[in-house]
Amino acid sequence: MSNEKIEAGLAKYNANVEKAIAKFPERGHLPEQRLYTPLDIAGENYAEEIGFPGMYPYTRGVQPTMYRGRFWTMRMYAGFSTAEESNKRYRYLIESGATGLSCAFDLPTQIGYDSTDAISEGEVGKVGVAIDSLADMEILFDQIDLGKVSTSMTINAPASVLLAMYIAVAEKQGVPSTELKGTIQNDILKEYAARGTYIFPPRPSMRLITNIFEYCSKNVPKWNTISISGYHIREAGSTASQEIAFTIADGIAYVEAAIKAGLNVDDFAGRLSFFWNAHNNVLEEVAKFRASRRVWAKVMKERFHAEKPKSQMLRVHTQTAGSMLTAQQPNNNIVRVALQTAAAVMGGTQSLHTNSRDEALALPTEESVMIALRTQQIVAYESGLADVIDPLAGSYYVEAMTDRIEKEAWDYIKKIDEMGGAVAAIEKGYIQKEIQDSAYKWQMDVENGARTIVGVNKFHIDEEPPKGLLKVDASVGEKQKAKVEAMKAKRDNEAVKNALADLKTACADENENLMPHILAAVKTYATLGEICGVMREVFGEYEAHVNL
Amino acid sequence: MIFCCRRPIFHKEGDCVDIAKELLAGNRLALSRAITAIENEYDDAAEIMKKIYPHTGRAYVLGITGPPGAGKSTLTDRLAHEYRKQGKTVGIIAVDPTSPFTGGAILGDRIRMNSLTLDEGVFIRSMGTRGSLGGLSHKTADAVKAMDAFGKDIIIVETVGVGQSEVDIVKAADTTMVVLIPGMGDDIQAIKAGILEIGDLFTINKSDLDGADKLVREINMMLDLDTFMTDWRPPIVKVVASRGDGIEELTEKVRTHREYIEGNGELNKRRTKRARDEMMDILNSRIGNYVKKKIVDTGRLDDLVNKMLNRETDPYTVAEELVGEMLKV
Amino acid sequence: MDKKIRVLVAKPGLDGHDRGAKVVARALRDAGFEVIYTGLRQTPEQIAEAALQEDVNVVAMSILSGAHPHLFPKVVNLVREKGMTDVLIIGGGVIPEGDIPALKEAGIAEVFTPGTPTSEVVKFINEHVKA
């Protein structure tokens, strides 16, 4: 059909719509246009902008075979209480068919405090497992073959320390570091902007990150050294476009820092990975995944002149949106998670964590985690969504939306560039403010009914409080404290002192890679708090920028 | 005498306490409630002020102003730490704008000063501008007095230098510091007219950024043009507040300015003028309130206005009659 | 007279999820309150002392990490110890229904769980506090 014919058809259709609306008004006002036609993607250059899976600009996916080769990694984020308890949960997940581990650490661990620190009171073992020293890490991976499993660790400010502990445990198991597979999140910029578990100011934090890039490129080559995360930016309330725009701006900052530190872009860029949120609006999410791959490929090729295809590929781990889970009628969350899973899969994710129905209320029970994992398996094996690569390509709507999100992302990236990059934009509070504005708008839309959340502001029922929630044993803190004290009494404290002194000297020398020093300290059973304490002394601490 | 404070609590043994007495005895909650009484214009505020007034005039007041984003709160935090190191107690009043649309405000300066919260030698109070035009500087001045009477050695008043009322607040300080940062481009032109002329000293914060030296040159040029200049030429101090760089020097410069105005009688002149202005303000506001009570609240004003509209009388005649009647002149 | 209700919005504990706290802070501002926002990682001692210095009418806290059974009551006790027996203390976050009675027993006036409209928080404050 020629464009003229389509235009004529569309005009006729629009006239009909006017008549119809006059009789039966439509429900509310929606931001998207009513109908998409070939006219909406008339200017699309298929060969250059969409292309083929495994080929630049990777709009349709990063591998040539995608899920026809193998499914995404079904990776369930877990960890709570003590290392012993979490180790049990990991082994249960592996037996249930999970193909990768994902460690959640408690907040003291994420912020570099020992369980014995006064500030840790009430937090030990709550949102993840408490790791104070190598001794805990040995228990956490007891009877788990680190040569086989791939492990993702949600750890940022002290990522270097946890990675060092992982390497040390593997060494004890007889697994060389060159064989280790996994990811550390290691994305400090989004901590400043959205997630809040930062320790040091931006400059030393960026140094730690580039130290890790450099160390791993030589010693842990299969390790994903960073997971540049939009997930938490979205959780903090951003839109889909903001999620990928701010995250890719962060990615640009990391690449620039590494290049400035003297690394060759193709030596480390292939180990960069991303982390997206799978939100409620299925088609918008699919478009977001597609747009993000295209933007990153262009950034890497055109801006950084990366030559290796792997350096240009945006490989992504995904988690379904925690903030979209409702405390009301929690079983409805199973359905939400299924739709979000469908979005992530049609978007072409490399790995996926699905949230459990009860997570707006507490940490998930084993039963809830099983349903969440089964959701992924049903989508993989039964739904047919994984049978064809990038099945929504060519949809007028999805292609137009992919273009729209890409454009919005470029606009933000340009603006952030003008401010001097992501670090400067965060220090000015710009990114935080944009996210907060979106979060506030969302909340007001829910409150004034412009946005419906089933079971919350519509279809509400009176219900009994849910039973059988997981409760973290309140004595975990005391137990963990006792463990740390006992460990400290046993270790060679002189060796610890020396290792920490050596680390301190290294911290003060900007040209020194800190990884070997941290690894040496970890092996003496120096605690996470002791190691981060030394770094705090030299580096200082970040002060948040709040601009409400 | 017993002052009943706004909330029926802050009781001791079933009775309302004497806030002024408790404040003077070093009770932190009494200081806090006294400031609330001032801010909210509670009836007992005047009684509190009467009692504490004899104990004021001992603190040195440092005003800090500058455009949004200049890092004033961080600077205030570092200055407070420095003064604490020097053995001085510190009071901080941080003023943030009230939204003209909702009447609410987010007072976020404290977040930069969290490390001072548990220091008993420091007391931080956030205030919203609350849309009052003249009233704000009056309230801030009274809050300063409350902290002064409480025994703080140094009182730092921090406010955004945008509106006239905010500028008035810092004018009430013994030493006024204007904080600027590099890279504000043409903004400095706009600021120049407003707050540059009130600075007893200039602080260039974030001076590790490009453009710091250019900014120093620009301020120097403006100071060169200032024909009202006394023999005090405001020093320009470069600092990086976030790292604590230059803070000691800054307190040194404040001390120099203090010695200068103490030595040449300028401090006395400033304080005399301030006392006079304050007196007039209070008098005007009392008279205004009296007039409101007699003329406005009784509906008499509306009658008179109607007469004026009908050209039966004119505002000048009415004013003369009213003043004569009320003040018996 | 220009009276305002003053609210301290604080995040005790270590979790960095401040979306809720910030949305509530803004909603309270838009409802005409003066909001003192203290940011992340505040200890109960810091929160109580800030409440005193700011003479707030309300302390509103948010915790998503599960540390509420420990931290909320501690704040209540410290605030009361400082003589502020008239301050309304409320909490929110990921808080299981089962924990709420104990928190109320400890002096938390109301607990707002996920999905609560901000207007309800505003209403609650207006019903229980006078400037």
- pLDDT tens digits, A215-254: 999 999 999 999 999 999 999 999 999 999 999 999 999 9
Taking the C-alpha atoms of residue A205 and residue A495, their distance in angstroms, rounded to an integer, is 26
Chain A residue numbers touching B243 (CB-CB < 8 A): 540
Q: Which of B202-216, B226-240, B242-256 has the lowest mean pLDDT?
A: B226-240
Residue B165 and residue B38 share a domain: no
- Chain A interface includes B27 (CB < 8 A): no
Number of residues in chain B: 329
| CATH code: domain of residue B147 | 3.40.50.300
pLDDT bucket at B218, cuts 50 / 70 / 90 = confident
Take residue A243 and report the two structure tokens written for it: 């999620």
Residue by residue, DSSP assigns B128-163 as E-TT-SSHHHHHHHHHHHHHHHHT-SEEEEEEES-S
Calculate how close chain B gets to C73, using CA atoms only, in Å.
19
Work out whether the CA dihedral A238, A240, A243, A246 comes out positive or negative: negative
Task: Judge whether residue A371 has pLDDT over 80.
Answer: yes
| B37, B55, B73 - which closes a domain | B55
Tell me the mean pLDDT in the region B127-140: 78
Taking the C-alpha atoms of residue B203 and residue B252, their distance in angstroms, rounded to an integer, is 13
Task: Judge whether residue B4 has pLDDT over 60.
Answer: no
Residue B295 and residue B232 share a domain: no
State the residue for tokens 């160390």.
Answer: A215
pLDDT at B162: 66
- pLDDT tens digits, C68-89: 999 999 999 999 999 998 899 9
What is the torsion angle, in degrees rounded to the nearest 10, for the CA atoms of residue A499, residue A504, residue A505 and residue A507?
120
Domain that holds residue B6: 1-55
State the residue for tokens 């006064």.
Answer: A118
- pLDDT tens digits, A172-188: 999 999 999 999 999 99
**Which of B209 and A342 is assigned the larger pLDDT?**
A342
**Which of B92 and A93 is assigned the larger pLDDT?**
B92
Three-state DSSP class for residue C89: strand
Tell me which H or E stretch contains B106.
strand B105-107
Task: Judge whether residue B9 has pLDDT over 50.
Answer: no
Rg of chain B over CA atoms, in angstroms? Answer: 22
Residue B68 and residue B124 share a domain: yes
Work out whether the CA dihedral A42, A43, A46, A47 comes out positive or negative: positive
Tell me the mean pLDDT in the region A132-147: 96
pLDDT at A527: 98
Take residue A404 and report the two structure tokens written for it: 């729209």
Residue B148 and residue B6 share a domain: no
The answer for A 85-124 residues in CB contact with C (under 8 A) is: 107-108, 110-111, 113, 119-123
pLDDT bucket at B278, cuts 50 / 70 / 90 = confident
Take residue B87 and report the two structure tokens written for it: 């053995």
**Which of A360 and B164 is assigned the larger pLDDT?**
A360
Nearest to A515 by CA among A266, A284, A229, A184: A184
Interface of B with C (CB under 8 A): 6-10, 28-29, 32-33, 35-36, 39-42, 98-99, 102-108, 110-111, 114, 117-118, 123-126, 128, 130-132, 135
Q: Determine how many CB atoms are found less than 10 A away from the CB of residue B132.
A: 16
Sort B227 into a burial class: Cβ within 10 Å, 0-12 / 13-18 / 19+.
Answer: exposed
CB contact under 8 A, A122 and C115: no
Nearest to B278 by CA among B127, B195, B172: B172
Residue B50 and residue B77 share a domain: no
Tell me the mean pLDDT in the region B100-109: 91
CATH topology of domain C6-124: Rossmann fold (3.40.50)
- Chain B interface includes C36 (CB < 8 A): yes
Strand-pair category, B11-12 with B15-16: antiparallel
Residue by residue, DSSP assigns A321-377 as -GGG--SSSTTHHHHHHHHHHHHHHHTT-SEEE---TTTTTSSPPHHHHHHHHHHHH
Angle at B223 between CA B219 and CA B229, to 5 degrees: 155
Task: Judge whether residue B3 has pLDDT over 50.
Answer: no
Residue B315 and residue B205 share a domain: no
Taking the C-alpha atoms of residue B249 and residue A250, their distance in angstroms, rounded to an integer, is 37
**Mean per-residue pLDDT over chain B, rounded:** 86
Residue B82 and residue B9 share a domain: no
Largest CA distance in chain B: 70
The secondary structure of residue A141, as a DSSP letter, is T
> Of B69, B111, B243, which has the smallest distance from its Cβ to A546's Cβ?
B111
Tell me the mean pLDDT in the region B148-153: 98
- pLDDT tens digits, A253-297: 999 999 998 999 999 999 999 999 999 999 999 999 999 999 999
Residue B257 and residue B281 share a domain: no
> Of C15, C39, C71, which has the smallest distance from its Cβ to A544's Cβ?
C39
CB contact under 8 A, A121 and C29: no
Interface test with C, best of B5, B6, B22, B106 (most C CBs within 10 A): B106
Task: Judge whether residue B163 has pLDDT over 80.
Answer: no
Tell me the mean pLDDT in the region A69-77: 88
pLDDT bucket at A12, cuts 50 / 70 / 90 = very high
Q: Which of A94-98, A393-397, B73-77, C45-49 has the lowest mean pLDDT?
A: A94-98
How many domains are there within chain B? 3
State the residue for tokens 């203090």.
Answer: B258
**Mean per-residue pLDDT over chain A, rounded:** 94
Tell me which H or E stretch contains B301.
helix B300-309
Taking the C-alpha atoms of residue B33 and residue B39, their distance in angstroms, rounded to an integer, is 10
pTM (two decimals): 0.91
Taking the C-alpha atoms of residue B249 and residue B164, their distance in angstroms, rounded to an integer, is 30
Tell me the mean pLDDT in the region B235-239: 96
CB contact under 8 A, C14 and A108: yes
Helix/strand number for chain A, H first, E second: 21, 9
Taking the C-alpha atoms of residue B142 and residue B37, their distance in angstroms, rounded to an integer, is 10
- Chain A interface includes B68 (CB < 8 A): no
pLDDT at B187: 58
Tell me the mean pLDDT in the region C59-74: 94
Rg of chain A over CA atoms, in angstroms? Answer: 24
Residue B278 and residue B220 share a domain: no
Tell me the mean pLDDT in the region B140-145: 94
pLDDT at B6: 47
Nearest to B52 by CA among B139, B154, B144: B144
Q: Determine how many CB atoms are found less than 10 A away from the CB of residue A341.
A: 28
CB contact under 8 A, B74 and A547: no
Phi (first) and psi of residue A5, to 5 degrees? -65, -40
Work out whether the CA dihedral A389, A394, A400, A406 comes out positive or negative: positive
Task: Judge whether residue A383 has pLDDT over 90.
Answer: yes
Task: Judge whether residue C103 has pLDDT over 80.
Answer: yes
Q: B321: which residues sit within 8 A by CB, 6+ positions away? A: none
Residue B115 and residue B156 share a domain: yes
**Which of A85 and A250 is assigned the larger pLDDT?**
A250
CB contact under 8 A, B6 and C131: yes
Q: Are A219 and A178 in contact (CB under 8 A)?
A: yes
Q: Are C47 and C59 in contact (CB under 8 A)?
A: yes
pLDDT at A69: 93
Which amino acid, residue A502? Answer: D
Q: Determine how many CB atoms are found less than 10 A away from the CB of residue A369.
A: 26
Residue B322 and residue B233 share a domain: no
Angle at B6 between CA B2 and CA B11, to 5 degrees: 50
Interface test with B, best of C1, C23, C34 (most B CBs within 10 A): C34
Task: Judge whether residue B12 has pLDDT over 60.
Answer: no
pLDDT bucket at B13, cuts 50 / 70 / 90 = very low
Three-state DSSP class for residue A299: helix
pLDDT at A519: 98
Task: Judge whether residue A339 has pLDDT over 60.
Answer: yes
CB contact under 8 A, B107 and C36: yes
Q: A70: which residues sit within 8 A by CB, 6+ positions away? A: none
Residue B219 and residue B84 share a domain: yes
Share of chain B above pLDDT 90, in %: 56
